[in-house]
Amino acid sequence: MYRISKDKVNDIAAALAEEHTLYAPALQRETLQVMFTQIKDLARINLTAALPLVPPKHVVFPQFGRTLSYAYDKAKQEVKFTPETDNSPKALFGVRACDLTGIQCLDRFYLGQDFVDEVYRDHRKKMFIVANTCVTPFRECFCSCMDSGPSAREGFDMNLTDLGNEYLIEIGSEKGETLAKKLSLASAPESAKRDREKAVDKSLSLFSKTAKDNKAWISRVVNRVTTGLFDEKAWTYIGDQCLECGACSFVCPSCSCFNVVDSVTGKDSAERTRTWDSCSFEGYSRMAGGHNPRKPVEDRRSKRCFCKLSYSQSKKYLRHGCVGCGRCAWVCPGDIGMPNVVTYIRREITKKGQ
């Protein structure tokens, strides 16, 4: 464990920026929204700003990304492929615990199943992650329900915790240790561990009423979502409020569905692009003949919540798919973010006679 004074914390970012493309939370001047964005001017980094509007998912899994370009010379009947992956060094500075958990979900899903996704693997290859503990929760936060915060426990190279006058730095990897040595960071006393625990406990006590209420209920809701043992009308109720905009998936740190499109770029050349997709869209499961096995909006809602909450899906992520960042609740125009879905299902299973 090390410590660093508050005015020096950007030294870590500066050291990382030497060899990495640096991404950190910063206030966007035009919109006054906090964005997790590429940083060229270190003074823009804001570690105390609210949870970024969009998670750092876009760094490991870009919203639009060319994965392959190819040229087909029809006269000569020759095909030439150029795979395009990006394995440049990247550093994420000041990642919140929920977002880090989201990246872990993506790691386990993309790298740990039957096949390894080469595009994702290359993005993730040379990455340095500095996590940041949330000493105060933000609006709609419910990571305490989802066991993903407010402080990260694994998956980081360095983890910062604001202890008032200084930052406590925990080291999570050899890379982290090397950087700490390089910066000659002062080591922290053993008592700092207790200060950190106090800060996390204080943060937990500040969570909203919804998060506190749902905490005890989450495992029962998960059980019922997995088994489907509750009145399906709950999904109709939720589906009726869905505007099918797909915003919940786009701001979700663990949503990983993508679409693949081939588009012509020249006379003989074309490219294959991977873009984010959402299971909320009607066209998501529609097949070429027009048959759509998941057409009704409530089925699509049910699908997304199954993906985020069920035990069966947890096998893929080795945890819940939902990381409790609460972004779906901020952005949802129909007010059916994950905390509300949990509340509705809870209401359904506690009705008389269930």
Partner 1 sequence: MSDNTTIPEVVTVDEIRDEIVDVKTFYLSFDERPGKKPFAFKSGQFIMCTVFGAGEFAVSLPACPENDRFHLTVRRTGKVTNALHELKPGDKIGVRGPFGNGFPFEDIQSKNIIYVGGGIGIIPLRSSIMHVMQNNQKFGRILMFYGARTPRDLMYQYNLKEWKTAPGFETFIAIDNPMPGWDGPTGFVHTLIKNADIPVKDTVAFVCGPPMMFNAVIKELLSRGLDEHSIISTLERHMKCGIGKCQHCSIGRTLVCTDGPVYTYHQIKTLGEQI
Which residues would be at the binding site for partner 1 (CB under 8 A)?
67-68, 70, 72, 74, 77, 79, 81, 83, 109-110, 113-115, 117-120, 228, 256-262, 264, 270, 272, 277, 279, 284-289, 291, 293-294, 299, 303, 306-307, 310, 312-313
Q: Would you tell me the crossing angle of helices 174-182 and 10-19 to the nearest 10 degrees?
A: 110
Q: What DSSP assignment string belongs to 110-142?
A: HHHSSS--HHHHHHHHTEEEEEE--SS--TT--
Looking up tokens 């499109």 gives: 261
Which of 282, 48, 84, 276 is CA-nearest to residue 164?
Answer: 48
Q: What is the nearest approach in angstroms of partner 1 to the Cβ of residue 54?
A: 20
Name which of 38 and 259 has its Cβ closer to partner 1.
259
Name which of 27 and 257 has its Cβ closer to partner 1.
257
Name which of 170 and 277 has its Cβ closer to partner 1.
277
Name which of 43 and 264 has its Cβ closer to partner 1.
264
Q: What is the nearest approach in angstroms of partner 1 to the Cβ of residue 195?
A: 42
The helix/strand/coil state of 237 is helix
Task: Please give the helix or strand (H or E) that residue 91 lies within, else none.
Answer: strand 90-96
Name which of 228 and 333 has its Cβ closer to partner 1.
228
> 296 with 239: CB under 8 angstroms?
yes
Name which of 77 and 184 has its Cβ closer to partner 1.
77
Q: What is the nearest approach in angstroms of partner 1 to the Cβ of residue 229?
A: 11
Q: What is the nearest approach in angstroms of partner 1 to the Cβ of residue 227?
A: 10
Name which of 114 and 335 has its Cβ closer to partner 1.
114
Q: Would you tell me the crossing angle of helices 218-227 and 297-309 to the nearest 10 degrees?
A: 120
Number of alpha carbons in the 13 Å side-chain half-sphere of residue 71: 8
> 72 with 270: CB under 8 angstroms?
yes
Name which of 161 and 310 has its Cβ closer to partner 1.
310
- The structure tokens listed for 308 are 């985020």
Q: What is the nearest approach in angstroms of partner 1 to the Cβ of residue 233?
A: 16
Q: What is the nearest approach in angstroms of partner 1 to the Cβ of residue 301?
A: 13
In degrees, rounded to 5, the angle at the alpha carbon of residue 12 between the alpha carbons of residues 99 and 121 is 45
What burial class does residue 71 get, using C-beta atoms within 10 Å of its C-beta: 0-12 exposed, 13-18 middle, 19+ buried?
Answer: middle
Q: What is the nearest approach in angstroms of partner 1 to the Cβ of residue 220?
A: 19
Q: What is the nearest approach in angstroms of partner 1 to the Cβ of residue 239?
A: 15
Partners of 93 in the beta sheet? 130
